[in-house]
Chains A and B, each alone.
Chain A
Amino acid sequence: MSTIVEQIEKEIASFEAGAVKSNTGKIVTIADGVAKLEGLSGVMYNEMIDFGNGVYGLALNLEEDEVGCVILGDYSKLKEGDEASTTGKLLSVPVGKGLLGRVVDAIGQPVDGKGPVDSSETYPVDQ
């Protein structure tokens, strides 16, 4: 419980009223875990795309008007017209001793029901 309070206190201490910039796009088509997005003009190759509700994707196919993206998670929640935004991060996962013995999904989120991975560092998966 004290960690929750500490986390809130940390967030309050770092509170800044500045604006957060994100580059957004919309799902044009989605099928079999692959989405085509319109927009996302500032996306990088291999960048993680945030679809909201904890669903992320990986930008793999950068075309002139569209971005092809592989969904890493439950894509049944997503539909055409949903908004997605860039994260500014390449596909990376938490690393360190806290990861030992844990079961995680493709983006390093725990699936073993043992809570968050105790790690302060993340590495790109291609490293």
Chain B
Amino acid sequence: MTRDKKVLRFAKKLVELSSENGIVTEARVSDVLAGLKKTTVRNKGLVLKTYLHYMRRAVAEQTAVVATPGALSAEALAAIESNFTKVYGRPITATTTKDESLIAGVRIRVGDDVYDASVAGRLKRFAESVN
């Protein structure tokens, strides 16, 4: 990522414009991209790359990525969504990924936060406490 402060500030402003009440929406992103097309901006490529970087982070903060070794029921996924929505005070959408290395349980990532309730994580922490 660039260290150019002007580009960083501009990209952050674009992320702000892409969100409504702190929530990134597709419609707003389309508007921002359409607006950018019309205007002449220096380092447009760099601005777009930085904007993408920040947007990935913003989307990750609105998404709970649930890693499980097996399948997860729709009810469980809905419960995760509603609980995390309460915890973070913003709408959280849950998606699932398969990770057999977890052995059992789940590992949920929301932005930078990781909630580990897996057997593999438990064993890792136990191994560290023994060493």
A residues near B (Cβ < 8 Å) are 4, 7-8, 11, 17-25, 28, 39-42, 54, 65, 85
Contacts and interface: CB of A to CB of B under 8 A. Distances in A.
Contacts of A18: 117
- Which 9 residue pairs of A and B lie closest in terms of their CB atoms, listed nearest first? A19-B117, A19-B115, A39-B112, A41-B112, A20-B116, A22-B114, A24-B114, A23-B112, A21-B115
A41 B111 contact: yes
If over half of A's interface residues share one DSSP class (helix, strand or loop), that class is named, otherwise mixed; here it is mixed
B131 interface: yes
Contacts of B126: 11
Contacts, number: 43
Interface residues of B, number: 17
Interface of B: 1, 8, 108-109, 111-117, 121, 125-126, 129-131
7 contacts: A17-B117, A21-B113, A21-B116, A22-B113, A23-B113, A39-B112, A65-B1
A58 B108 CA distance: 26
